[in-house]
Structure 1
Amino acid sequence: MTETMLMPVVPTTDRTIVRRVLLDSAYALTAFVLAIPSFALVVAGVASGVGTIVVAGLGLLVLVATAYVARGLAHVERVRLRSMLGVDAPHPAYLRARPDDRRVRALLTPLRDVQSWLDVLWCLIGFATATFAFAVAVAWWAATLGGLSYWFWERFIPRGPDNTSLAELIGLGSTRTADVLLQTAIGVVALLTLPVAMRIAAATHAAVSRVLLCSRVELMGRMVRMEESRDSAHRAEAQSLRRLERDIHDGPQQRLIRLGMDLGRARKQLSDDPALAATTIDAALAQTRETVEELRALSRGIAPPLLVDRGLAVAVREMASGQAIPVDVAVDVPALSEAAETTAYFVVAESLTNIAKHSQATRARVALAAEDGRLLVTVDDDGRGGARVAAGRGLDGLRERLAGVDGTLVVASPDGGPTRVRAEVPLG
């Protein structure tokens, strides 16, 4: 079983321990109450349906009715899992008949749904685990309550001349005191082990319920999220390419065109006015330096060499040192995958670019830390705020990029500031 299929960790305070024991006990005891009608109805329904399936399709109708009964009982179990044990028990999206389905096909839709048969299987297998949970709960509570109160009701037990107590059988003596002390000791041991016993009883039945009633819908949910992440990654890549194309067209391409024109003008000026030609050449050199710097800035959005060669911490510190305002950097991360490093780098790069362009901030801070299997990237500034995740803007592309690696982006930027951009990226 995976860890998510088991119970939450037992709290440590006395009040919550008592509450947990009572809820586990209630779950284990009522499991048997639900399992009896579940087992009886489903066994009778399946047997009747299979036995009469050749009688003009009557058996199919019985099986359909049995599937609906199993669905209802499974729904009750999911409610019990959520309310008594506090575990996630999502409700599945059962197969529905399509508008163009014929009447017979639409009627038999529950029998074409895998989850319906898993519900039926739970009604059968759950009877065994519910019986185990019920037996453990009854035995432990009987030992606890009976042992601790034995000193009181022992005097009312009729005893004959041949009566032999448990204490006498194991050699502790035939006195009433020995018998009471032994039974009380059993009650104390049962009381101390009661939380563990109830947790085992509840977890055994709940694990089977989770596997049969919830694992398929969770798997389908993960598949949907993976498809959404893949689509988000494709959209983010397309946006990045379009943005890079626009930036190259509006920046370096225009500068290079102007550089060619300046050099052509300088060549004509060499014979007539060398001094003016030298001035034109100096301006062209300055234009060349600006173009190189702009190309370097654009290259950070493609594949920053420093990130590949020396890692995320060095690349982020280098990026921060080149900003127009002071940027404090705090990095405490383990070895990361290439995807996680690249995504975190782009989060910082986009955030610092927005700060330089729009925030009017005087100081910023970048923090990267690992927590609970995820990389936390936080960028703060003391600017004017008002940053929003709008379609087609930089932060929206950043959100799409994060969604492509199953990450999240939260932007807190009230008008007047300050602004915090917080991203979470899976470490794997």
Structure 2
Amino acid sequence: MNGVGRGGSERWGVSGRPDTGLSGWQARGVDAAADRIGDVTENPPRPRVPLLRRLADDSVFVLSGWSLGLAGFVVVVTGVSLAAGLLVVWVGVPALAGALLTARGLAHVQRAQLRHRLHREAPTPRYLRPAPAAGRVRRALTPLRDPQSWFDLAWALLAFVTGTVAVVVAVSWAALALGGLTYWFWQRWLPESDGSLVELLGWGSGRQAESLLNLGIGVVAVLLLPGVLRLCAGLHGGVADVLLCSRARLQGDVQRVVDSREAARDAEAASLRRLERDLHDGPQQGMVRLAVDISRARRQLDVDPARAGEILDEALVRARSTTQELRALSRGIAPPLLVDRGLAAAVGELLQRSPIPTTSTLGIPEDLPPHVETAVYFAVAEALTNVAKHSAASRTALEITTRDGHLVATVTDDGIGGAHIAKGSGLAGLQQRLAGLEGALTVSSPAGGPTVLAASVPLPGGTGA
């Protein structure tokens, strides 16, 4: 891999030779990995809904939203007014808490409508719960200290406004469409009058001209009806989504950060324990044996110089072996080639050391952060090690590319399959390491193969092709 510095976009063939393309099994594996990584790195797309069902869903959502808004407005206004009037005798406090709980119940129904009718993700926030040892008074007053309860109250007030606007516009537009399409039938019962719309437009006169004009208006209204209903449902649903679901998404983001930090701490602790164990079982024992050999040689130096020389030769061999073990351990912390020349060169060295013939496509951007380079390097190293040890594969393919703001490394082999992320395995530790960086690890390994391992790490600022 001489001449490969930081970053790079090269194709490498078996044992580091240039490659001309991916074979069929490799391409299928890479495509499957791309689909799985897309599910992890992107928000899943909303399902495509047939036009008639969407029309029905929007209509039901608008009507049910207005009904919920009306019920919420009545309950909230009544509860708040009652609480304000009785606040001086403290009876108003439970009344206000009751209004908040009622608004919470209506908010749950509205979130269900968002999921089933508008096909949106509508997460439910975590409401403040009283402590197990809290008394009755504290339990009754808990809704007053919960921010989301007040968001629910605000939604109950605004939902009546947005629901009324949405239902008036939707019903008026539907009436316009129905009236225009059927005008030819019921116009016979209308009295004749001068100055009709068709005459004002200069398009003729008489009932036939009026029928044609209204028929055209009705057809246009019918064609635009799905869009108008979608707009009305979006208006009402957008307000509900902001007030009822935004805090839940924020809570989810915070929880993911907390989980990633815990995963990073666990991965670091596991790495330190493994390093301590490896040092104790390997180089430390070698150094102890080396000290013993040197002490023996010193005692034999005057008595039997030849034997002392043999002992020193053995000690020299042991010192070199210990040095190799220390180098191997340091490579597990941060390979010098990765630090000095970047991810492309370090991955190239892994490919050259791999006992399985490997083709690779490296599309690595410039100036990657050290934590991204380290995570992807160890993901590739662990994947190639598993292939060599367990897969019985004859060929391996590696692809590193940017996708949807992530750096994605995909390793595909034609082995026997059966790989899985099991607790205590190297893949489980790798998954934990990636989770600490808000990354993801996916493994697809059906019996008989092929096995596809895909590791993704988010890039700073979400850059990437």
| TM interval, short-chain normalised | 0.7 to 0.9
Aligned to 1:323: 354
| 1:82 to partner: Cα distance | 0.8
Q: Distance in 1 between matches of 2:292 and 2:449?
A: 45
Residue 183 in structure 1 maps to residue 214 in structure 2: yes
Q: Structure 1 residues 263, 326: CA separation in 2 closer, same or farther (over 3 Å shift)? A: farther
| 1:346 to partner: Cα distance | 1.4
Q: Within 5 A, what are the aligned runs for 1:105-184? A: 105-150=138-183, 152-160=184-192, 162-184=193-215
Q: Within 5 A, what are the aligned runs for 1:221-236? A: 221-236=252-267
Q: Structure 1 residues 223, 31: CA separation in 2 closer, same or farther (over 3 Å shift)? A: same
> SS of the residue aligned with 1:346?
helix
Q: Distance in 2 between matches of 1:309 and 1:135?
A: 68
Q: Distance in 2 between matches of 1:306 and 1:189?
A: 68
Residue 370 in structure 1 maps to residue 402 in structure 2: yes
Name whichever of 338-347 and 288-297 sits farther off: 288-297
Q: Distance in 2 between matches of 1:147 and 1:205?
A: 27
Aligned residues: 416
Residue 314 in structure 1 maps to residue 314 in structure 2: no
Q: Is this contact kept in 2: 1:137–1:197, CA < 8 A? A: yes
Aligned to 1:34: 68
Q: Is this contact kept in 2: 1:313–1:331, CA < 8 A? A: yes
1:320-351: per-residue Cα shift (whole Å, max 9, x none)? 21122222223335455443332121111122
Aligned to 2:438: 406
What letter matches 2:152 in structure 1?
D
Q: Is this contact kept in 2: 1:90–1:217, CA < 8 A? A: yes
Q: Structure 1 residues 184, 371: CA separation in 2 closer, same or farther (over 3 Å shift)? A: farther
Q: Distance in 2 between matches of 1:102 and 1:263?
A: 74
Aligned to 1:51: 85
> SS of the residue aligned with 2:50?
helix
Name whichever of 391-400 and 65-74 sits farther off: 391-400
Q: Structure 1 residues 190, 309: CA separation in 2 closer, same or farther (over 3 Å shift)? A: farther
CA RMSD of aligned residues (A): 3.3
Aligned to 1:216: 247
Q: Distance in 1 between matches of 2:330 and 2:188?
A: 90
Q: Is this contact kept in 2: 1:317–1:329, CA < 8 A? A: no
Q: Structure 1 residues 103, 285: CA separation in 2 closer, same or farther (over 3 Å shift)? A: same
Q: Distance in 2 between matches of 1:272 and 1:245?
A: 39
Relative contact order, CA 8 A, sep 6+: which one is greater?
A: 2
Q: Structure 1 residues 287, 367: CA separation in 2 closer, same or farther (over 3 Å shift)? A: farther
Q: Distance in 2 between matches of 1:21 and 1:311?
A: 55
Select which of 363, 369, 376 maps to 1:344: 376
What letter matches 1:29 in structure 2?
L
| 1:174 to partner: Cα distance | 2.2
What letter matches 1:16 in structure 2?
P
Q: Distance in 2 between matches of 1:188 and 1:418?
A: 56
1:89-114: per-residue Cα shift (whole Å, max 9, x none)? 12233222223212211222222222
Aligned to 2:56: 22
Residue 87 in structure 1 maps to residue 120 in structure 2: yes
Could you list the runs of 5+ residues in structure 2 that have no partner in the other structure? 1-42, 461-465
Q: Is this contact kept in 2: 1:10–1:20, CA < 8 A? A: no
TM-score by length of 1: 0.84
Amino-acid identity (%): 49
What letter matches 2:177 in structure 1?
T
| 1:198 to partner: Cα distance | 2.1
| 1:265 to partner: Cα distance | 7.1
1:254-308: per-residue Cα shift (whole Å, max 9, x none)? 4455556667778868996879958974x66665655454444333322233334
| 1:309 to partner: Cα distance | 4.2
